[in-house]
Amino acid sequence: MTAPWSLLVVSTPVGTLGSGAGGGVELTLESLVAGLLGRGHQLTVLAAEGSRLSSSCQAARLWTAAGVDQPSWQHQLRDAPVQIPAAGLLPAIWQQVHARQGQFDAVLNLAYDWLPFWLTPLLRTPLFHLVSMGSVATVMDEVIEAVALSDLRRLAFHSRAQASDFRLPAPPLVVGNGFDLSAYSFRERPDPEPLLGWAGRIAPEKGLEDAAAVAASLGERLLVWGVREDPTYAAAVEASVPSGTIEWRGFLPTSALQAELGRCRLLLNTPKWNEAFGNVVVEAMACGVPVVAYARGGPGELIVPGVTGVLVPPDDVAALTLAARGAAGLERSACRRWVERHASREAFAERIETWIQEGLRPA
């Protein structure tokens, strides 16, 4: 089937688009939709009621479904069963997909949930999955691996580290991610402000306490951006360091985030789990901000040690502190150049198009 296509992009059932509740999936969806629109495809987005599309995606149709948000697999036990709340958003979304699939050449799922993966062989319209997390639950591993055994072309991953979590029958397709680089301004800033940055959902698996400990040890302020998903955890982190160490900046749209992030001398990235990609790492580098991170998951594939940042052993706060202290000599323009070469929205959309093109060919 030749392009252009009519594509249905299915968002996460964890929250509304624009709220930040969907984490990196929201940014991925925006980049993917805008990039594919730019390549001439017709896009429809299906998301939670109350969602809104950014200005770059206004040419896409927006369909919505109502229901109770789906619990995220990030916060379930490894042996937890599949859980769908009464009047759940997840089945409401996929009922719409089932009913309206005939209008599309392909469906692209961005949700990390059991139901859409299980439905893959049952839909008439080809269903593709951009897998947004690594291994977090046995039942999710099983359903993703079942799709891979049936037709690995239906799956794409953000990083090699993420894909390695799963037993796959052949090497995976790794598509990375993409960003609208015009939304991230870069200034050389020979003397950036003595600020450290940290961005992400405020939840234990993101490791904010380690970044706070580094900031306290260096006597620098830590600007923190993101949704306070776990207020109790956020309060405990703040109480663990001297008053004034953390400056809570909230969840900001890209325009505001990049303006503040660009002031920082470094971004600290401290995941306690296998991050699938690491959007905030690329966002920082797009602003010319080097990144000091744990060598875990996707960020370990994004940072060029000694050029765009420093990687240290996972969970080693002393090494993280030492790296943050000694990273002043990194060239900020090198960070921006790396992003321009590897993570533009246009390049990402081209990789997604190639993936779907291959998957639409007869097996």
The rounded average pLDDT for each run of 10 residues, N- to C-terminus, in the chain (363 residues) is 89 90 87 96 97 94 97 90 96 98 98 97 98 96 98 97 97 96 83 90 94 97 94 97 97 91 95 90 96 94 95 97 91 95 95 96 86
Q: What is the pLDDT of residue 283?
A: 95
User: What pLDDT, on the 0 to 100 scale, is given for residue 329?
Assistant: 82
CB 52: neighbour CB atoms within 10 A?
12
For 354-358, which contacts have Cβ atoms below 8 Å and span 24 or more sequence positions? 355/128, 355/153, 355/156, 355/173, 355/175, 356/5, 356/7, 356/106, 356/108, 356/128, 357/3, 358/153
Helix, strand or coil for residue 115? helix
Interatomic CA distance for residues 226 and 279, integer angstroms: 13
Q: Token pair for residue 293? A: 């991170």
* Type of residue found at 110: L
Specify the pLDDT at position 200.
92
b/e sequence 260-294, b meaning 16+ C-beta within 10 Å: bbbbbbbbbbbbbbbbbbbbbbbbbbbbbbbbbbb
| 250-294 pLDDT, tens digit each | 999 888 999 999 999 999 999 998 889 999 999 999 999 999 999
In the CATH scheme, what architecture does the domain 6-178+344-360 have? Answer: 3-Layer(aba) Sandwich (3.40)
* Stretch(es) of the chain classified as CATH 3.40.50.2000: 6-178+344-360, 181-342
* Closest among 149, 155, 126, 111 to 13, alpha carbons compared: 111
Provide the 10 A C-beta neighbour count for residue 189.
15
- Calculate ∠ Cα 255-69-111, nearest 5°: 70
Domain 181-342 has CATH 1.20.120.80: no
Count of beta carbons in the 10 Å neighbourhood of residue 5: 19
HSE, side-chain direction, 13 A CA sphere, residue 179: 27
Residue 225 has what pLDDT? 97
